[in-house]
Amino acid sequence: MESNKKYWKGLEEFNKTSDFVENNKNEFAEPLPIEDVLNEAGLSTVTPRRDFLKALGFGLGAVTLAACQPAPIHKSIPYLVKPEEVIPGIPNYYVSSYNGQSVLVKTREGRPIKIEPNPNAGLFNCGTDAQAQASVLDLYDVSKLKAPVLKNDETTWTKVDAFVTAELAKAKASGKKIRIVSSSVYSPSTKSVVADFTAAYPSTKHIQYDAVSYTGIIKANENSFGKAVVPKYNFDKADLIVSFAADFLGTWISGEEFTAQYVSNRNNKSLAKGKMSRHFQFEAGMSLTGTNADTRVPIKLSEQGPALITLYNAITGGNLAGGSLPKNATAEKALKLVAKELTQQKGKALVVCGSNDVSTQILVNAINSAIGSYGTTIDLDNPNKRYAGNDAEFAEFLNEMNRGEVAAVFFLDSNPAYDVTNVKSFTDGLSKVPLKVSFSDRKDETSTLCDVIAINQNYLESWGDANSYEGSYSIIQPTINPVFNSRQAEQSLLIWSNAPVKDYYQYVRNNWEKNILPALGKNWNELLQTGVFASAPKAAGSYSFKLSLDAVAPSVLKSSAALAKDIELQVYESIAMRDGSHANNAFLQELPDPVSKVTWDNYIALAPKFAESQGLKEFDVVDVKGSNGYTISLPVLIQPGQAVGTASIALGYGRAKAGKAGDNVGKNAYPFASFSNGTLQYATTITISKTGSTYELAQTQTHHSFEGRNIIREASFKEYVKNPFAGTGKHEEGHKTYDLWDKYEKPGNNWVMAIDLNACTGCGSCIVACNVENNIPVVGRDEVRRRREMHWIRIDRYYSFEEGDKSVSEEKEIAHLENLDRVTVVHQPMLCQHCDHAPCETVCPVLATTHSSDGLNHMAYNRCVGTRYCANNCPYKVRRFNWFNYWNDSRFDNYLNNEFTQLVLNPDVTTRSRGVMEKCSMCIQRIQAGKLTAKMEKRPLKDGDIKMACQQACSANAIIFGDGNDPESEVSKALRSERVYYVLEEINTQPGVGYMTKIRNTDSLPTVQA
Amino acid sequence: MRNISLIIRRVWKSAFMFTALSVLIVSGTQAQDPVEGRKIFKEKCTSCHALDRDLIGPALQKIVPTKSEAFLLRWINNAPAFIASGDKEAVEASKFNPNADMTAFPSLTPEQIKSILAYVKVGEPKKAEVAGAAKGSDEVSNFSIVGVIAVILISIIVLVILARAIKMLERLILKKQGVEIEEDEEKASMVAGIGQLFKNKKFVFFVILCLVISLGSFGWMGMWNTGVATGYQPTQPIKFSHELHAGVNQIDCQYCHAGAFESKNATIPSLNVCMNCHKQVQARDSHDGNISPEIQKIYNALGYDADKMTYDKSKEKPIEWVRVHNLQDFAYFNHSQHVVVAADAIRKEKGLKPNEPVCFACHGPVNTMEEIYQYSPLTMKWCINCHKDTKLEVKDNAFYTKIIEAHEKIKKGEKITPAALGGIECGKCHY
């Protein structure tokens, strides 16, 4: 049974705006100026024959002269003494870790060029997120300082050390407070360094705070169970997941790990076993997790508290006051259903909440205890160590500074001048501190206010370690010598505290050999090889919630009620920018938001009908005024699925001093957050007023049109169980097909790919991985607006709408929809399909794109003359044209236009020149390298020898690549699945990339008979 | 021209070597043969000893005359045992370098040791001769150029004279037949004739056609060869001779270009590889006892002081070689693929002798190149032709088993070349 549900790329298509219709006709945003030439003036323009000949003669002469230069001399400079392990042309891999993810760093001739997940990582055996993939670019950031700074001048370390130790001596003598302010530290060695420093200067206190805080969860667990920790969540053990605004597949606590766990119950393997978890999401703004939910119910921020109480009452039969949602019947109905299912799934369910409010989290603990989550889906005995921030301590630190009690302050991995809620209180206080030291690597918002910038090293230049979970450790080891005259922050602290061991490498090693390795029974060299050690996890104890909720529920209701006025605003971490600390990373800036597909900006997201009622259109610039008076102007983005009466603004934008790429991109939303009830709250109320101007956001989604063809195939889990072919459009008797083209023989390998739409969450880390691997240029906001982004793989997001129990199948029905709340989203990674009957190949006049005997569609850049016929003829719209020499053009100054940043380029992939077409090559450099290794070792190629960059990065294993001629390969098995369909297979392009239908675990997917 | 002068230079060099050696042989009338001694010395002793200066061991020309022959025979034959026996003189001698004992050479016969001692006494052939010979070879190459020009000039003169003579004779014959010829008239008629000729349309057409064809084909050839740098031989910062290292000394290509067998880059050796030999080999013999200026360049780059045998890191300065083989950025080439995986096939295709390394297939006779130059055109046509013609030799390579099987099913009996397995598809080299 085929669904004829309609999918829309966005509201532009949905509403058929005139711009969209106009743009849709053309392959490229700006048509050729043919009409200018053909209009009357153009035709009557006379170029005198003499002028023509003059120009011709001059051109010929100039070209000849230019060509007369002697051939350029290329120098070849060998090592003086070659390091034994380096062979030019062969990559070396080193284990390290980034943000708690264990990674392999690929280096070529001593420079790190790519981050890959560590296959030995065990517990953390998942992919890497977009930040980790992009982090290699941070190393080659030209905006970094090249030497330490003392009182605004670059200086030497000796002078810095002399100054700081003298000032510290004064501080110690005065007996005043010394503060080390950092984001959460989960490195055992760094903690030990801080302890040593504290021993040398006893008035020191280490204050940890996170720009996006989890203090609420920590305090709640301390209150409920006496354990001040962020627990370990096991989404893989949960058959039913209920999330209240927790974006656990994206930014919440540990997105990549949760993605791997979550998908393990929903991917093809799990479905083949007839098992699929169920996921409800209640939230205001449309999050990545919300787009993946089986059922997503929009609720206002002020309704979250009452919703939780309703759920609690329904599960436990309790009768806490306030447990009703009078204005949201849908949500109330859904909550009843959820409560029923939760009680049925005891011990196999999990409720999470994204709130940072202690009372709210206590309520969630009570619910989880009631459904038996502790010991199964929540593990309090092997807690997550990555977040230890304490908002109250930081707030007290601000008071201490303002009272003039602080003599010295050190900022490590923190930038309060940017991300505190009350910047003025911070800067006023800071000006009263005699010694201010920042370990930032650049002149950022905080470090410019400091006396000393003791520039820290990038993690790729550093020694270090991480303890992400109880009993599980990973190492950070340097992969390149420090590029600038930088010094690790820990080493600086050791020197200033005059510790006996001042070399940080020795310090880390001593710490491991003394405190960590003996317990694990391993040695240092093994550690440097594997990167990760974990002791056997403790048995997860079962905890039950015994406290009274009498005080908790009113507190929850009170903070909810406070939000019920004007427009309710939530500020959230965006998938690309997160907390904004990597704002100068151009890869991340150009990574489209998974839902809105906006790059290079933040915006205020409003629901379509709500915006209409406010008289606002998309891209209208509005002044957003918070309840605390903070005002910024932002463009409006119409976001289907946003709860009516609410707005969302992403954090991490509006950096004033991030560097060339990140300065003044978007607006800073941190000041909308507030400190109340002992923690930071990310919800507030705002009023908005129209400014009258408009601002076009650089969105990627609507850039390519499929002309309404049926490219998403979807089925409900019930239908799938009944008939695994559900939704694929396959019929029992095959169609008779006719080919215009000859069949391609693929005698050796046949490289194909399978993409599981049920595993793909749309997070976008594959996009960044592909960018880094294939030297894909960053084009900047203006070029994205002109539809000229270069990404070889994109993730298309499709909306579909429901009304009652019917999905909308006719465009004209849209106008009658009450609101556009009931939206479902499908993410579809789209890349070159390597068609056997490729439409692009047929139209290339110079045979620059041809078919290979192993099933790939080759693209020879040096042969391409740039007619762009291929892009025009590609039904998948995956071909990208180089409009500029992005790596050598001053207009694209935020990325590769300097020799230093160019060190990040992959030497095995050509940088493309202006005027040529490019597209996904199926990482042909990796295929060739994998084949060569096998040839050299005289063995057959094994399945899994070759991995695509996108496939490697994917935590969800949504992308499988391999040899279709090998019936035993993973990809062949995957492509034999009943769920497989090929996009636009009806036009007989015979793609090499197969997709598996999206399955939703809803009761039934409403369909309309054709 | 380079080839000719190379050949001549080589002929001269070998002739000189032959004479020098025969002089040595003739002068070696004693029972001990300094020529034989030199050979053994070069084989066994040079890593620790030089004739005229201290290395790891003492300068032999200074120390040998102070010792008795009997002592030396015993010492060289088995020094460790000699020292262990407690002989006073031997113990004293062992103190020259407390860090290194003299190696034992039990395989050397007393005659051979005597030969070495004889060579130590006689020393190297005199430098003057070497210098003279070198000068001579330069003159020869200049002479050869001048000679060729002279021969051409002389033949032109002879031709002109012959032409004059023929004309005179013709005129005499005409005179005899009674035909009167006026010199002036003849000149006028010639000018007129040329004028007439240019009025002849057929002639003009013919001349223009010739011009077009010659210029066209010249231009065509020129265009085809644009960017083709066969024979490119840039001046290198060090006059490194592949002829000496790969040819005379028979050092394997891999010793320096190890990357070729593992990586896409053949790699230019780092200087520590040079120093493996050149810490000892300083070619002082041919430079009046000084270190060869070319070898000194290695030392300078490393900040190495040859007398103190110490390195100074602050003086390090990498050597900037000039790249000879410049493949475009957009073409991927992997050395290991060709010299490891495809070695047998390439050897067969290019007809290399068993003693020639596979590298010669593309790099030419490197062992005869005084300075390296680009031997092959490195054009795509050149690559593709080889991929089309070479028959794969992959019997013992399990990688190919399945692929060949599959291929055989489709194109039974056809020659299996890289091209047949997709080796000339664009994306295999351009990505």
Q: Which of A63, A852, A912, A935 to mutate to test the interface with B (most CBs of B within 10 A)?
A: A935
CB–CB contact B262 A862 (8 Å): no
Lowest mean pLDDT among A129-133, B283-287, B369-373: B283-287
Minimal-distance CA residue of chain A relative to B318: A80
Q: What is the band of A35 on the pLDDT scale with cuts at 50, 70, 90?
A: low
Mutate which of B273, B341, B399 to disrupt the A interface (most A C-beta within 10 Å)? Answer: B399
Residue B324 has pLDDT above 60, yes or no: yes
Decide if pLDDT at B316 tops 50: yes
Question: Between chains, do A925 and B332 touch, taking CB under 8 Å as contact?
Answer: yes
Q: Has residue A705 got a pLDDT over 60?
A: no
What is the per-residue pLDDT across B193-215, written as a single tens digit (0 to 9) for each? 777 777 888 888 999 999 999 99
Structure tokens at B99: 């860090």
Residue A197 has pLDDT above 90, yes or no: yes
Of B103 and A196, which is predicted with more confidence? Answer: A196
d(CA A121, CA A132): 15
DSSP class of residue A513 equals I
> pLDDT tens digits, residue range A78-97?
999 988 888 899 999 999 99
CB B417 within 8 A of CB B389: yes
- The DSSP secondary-structure symbol of B245 reads I
Residue percentage of chain A with pLDDT more than 90: 57
Model pLDDT, residue B307: 84
Residue A14 is predicted with a pLDDT of 64
Residue A741 forms contact with B (CB below 8 Å): no
Domains along chain A with CATH numbers: 11-67 (no CATH), 149-208+389-469+471-534 (3.40.50.740), 217-383 (3.40.228.10), 590-694 (2.40.40.20), 714-731+750-1000 (3.30.70.20)
Q: How far apart are the first and last CA of chain A?
A: 9
Residue contacts between A and B (CB atoms, under 8 Å): 151
**CB-count exposure of residue A403 (10 Å: 0-12, 13-18, 19+):** exposed
The Cα–Cα gap between A811 and B10 comes to: 87
Kindly report, residue by residue over A808-850, the tens digit of the pLDDT: 555 555 555 555 667 889 999 999 999 999 999 999 999 999 9
Task: Tell me the C-alpha distance between A596 and A797, whole Å.
Answer: 9
- Split at pLDDT 50, 70, 90, the class of A1 is very low
Q: What is the model's pLDDT at position A906?
A: 93
Res. B133: pLDDT tops 70: no
Q: Quick check: B270 and A936 CB within 8 A?
A: no
Residue A40 has pLDDT above 70, yes or no: no
Q: Which of A65-74, A523-532, B1-10 holds the top average pLDDT? A: A523-532
Instruction: Judge whether B403 is closer than 8 Å to chain A, CB to CB.
Output: yes
Distance from CA of B336 to the nearest CA of A (A): 8
Nearest to A140 by CA among A905, A949, A766: A905
B408 within 8 A of B394, measured Cβ to Cβ = no
Task: Say if A84 is an interface residue toward chain B (CB within 8 Å).
Answer: no
Q: Model confidence at B76, in pLDDT bands (50, 70, 90)? A: confident
B:339-368 residues touching chain A, CB 8 A cutoff: 340-341
Q: Note whether B259 contacts A745, CB cutoff 8 Å.
A: no
For the ranges A170-184, A496-510, B45-59, the lowest mean pLDDT is seen at: B45-59
Q: How confident is the model at residue A494 (pLDDT cuts 50, 70, 90)?
A: very high
Instruction: Dump pLDDT digits (tens) for B29-70.
Output: 445 677 788 778 777 787 678 777 777 778 888 888 888 888
A928 contact residues in B (CB cutoff 8 A): 332, 428, 431
What are the helix (H) ranges across A481-575? Answer: 489-496, 504-511, 517-520, 524-530, 552-563
Residue from A571, A554, A568, A564 nearest A674 by CA = A571
Spatial distance between the Cα atoms of A197 and A192, rounded to a whole number of angstroms: 9
Give per-residue pLDDT as tens, B222-251: 888 877 888 888 889 999 999 889 888 889
Question: In this complex, which of A75, A87, A854 lies closest to B262 when CB atoms are compared?
Answer: A87
> pLDDT, tens digit, for every residue of A760-815?
999 999 999 999 999 999 999 999 998 899 999 999 988 887 765 566 555 555 55
Q: Counting every residue, how long is chain B? A: 431
Q: Which residues of B touch A850 (CB under 8 A)?
A: 425-427
Instruction: Answer whether B276 touches A (CB < 8 Å).
Output: no
User: Of A320-334, A720-734, B260-274, which range is least confident?
Assistant: A720-734
Say yes or no to pLDDT of B108 above 80: yes
Nearest CA in chain A to B322: A75
**What is the reported pLDDT for B131?**
36
- Among residues A339, A123, A211, the alpha carbon closest in space to that of A671 is found at A211
pLDDT band at A238 (very low <50, low <70, confident <90, very high): very high
Q: Place A1007 in a pLDDT band, splitting at 50, 70 and 90.
A: very low
Mean pLDDT of chain A: 87
Closest approach of A942 to chain B, Cα-based (Å): 10
Separation of alpha carbons A106 and A460, rounded Å: 11
- In sequence order, what are the beta bridge partners of A8? A799
Lowest mean pLDDT among A303-317, A932-946, B179-193, B317-331: B179-193
How far apart are alpha carbons A847 and A844 in whole angstroms? Answer: 5
Question: Mutating which of A81, A85, A926 best tests the B interface, going by the most B Cβ atoms within 10 A?
Answer: A81
**Would you state the pLDDT for residue B208?**
93
Half-sphere exposure of A77 (CA within 13 A, CB side): 8
Summarize the confidence of residues A712-726 as an average pLDDT.
85
Q: Is B300 on the interface with A (CB under 8 A)?
A: no
**Do A853 and B425 lie within an 8 Å CB cutoff?**
yes
Is B396–A858 a contact, with Cβ atoms under 8 angstroms apart?
Answer: no
How far apart are alpha carbons A872 and A850 in whole angstroms?
16
Question: Please, which residues 307-346 of chain B have a Cβ atom closer than 8 Å to chain A?
Answer: 316, 318-323, 326, 328-332, 334, 336-337, 340-341
The pLDDT tens digits for A733-758 are 666 777 777 777 788 889 999 999 99
- Best probe of the B interface among A63, A75, A76, by most B CBs < 10 A, is A76
β-pair partners for A179? A205, A409
pLDDT at A479 over 60: yes
Note the pLDDT tens digit of each residue in A251-275. Answer: 999 888 899 999 999 988 889 888 8
What whole-number distance in Å separates Cα of residue A853 and Cα of residue A749?
8
pTM for this predicted structure: 0.82
Of B323, B428, B431, the CB nearest to A910: B431
B400: nearest CA in chain A? Answer: A940
Question: For chain B, what is the mean pLDDT?
Answer: 80
Q: Name the DSSP letter for residue A616.
A: -
Does pLDDT of A994 surpass 50? yes
Query: Is the Cβ–Cβ distance between A368 and A195 less than 8 Å?
Result: no
Q: Within 13 Å, how many C-alpha atoms sit on residue A535's CB side?
A: 13
Helices (H), B334-379: 335-336, 343-350, 360-363
**Averaged pLDDT, A600-620:** 91
Residues 886-915 of A with CB under 8 A from B: 908-911
Burial (CB count <10 Å: 0-12, 13-18, 19+), residue B241: middle
ipTM value greater than 0.90:
no
The pair phi, psi for residue A548, each rounded to 5°, is -85, 145
Residue B4: pLDDT above 60? no
Interface of B with A in 410-429 (CB under 8 A): 410, 421-422, 425-428
- Neighboring chain A residues of B427 at a CB cutoff of 8 Å: 850, 852, 856, 858-860, 921, 924
CATH no., domain B34-122: 1.10.760.10
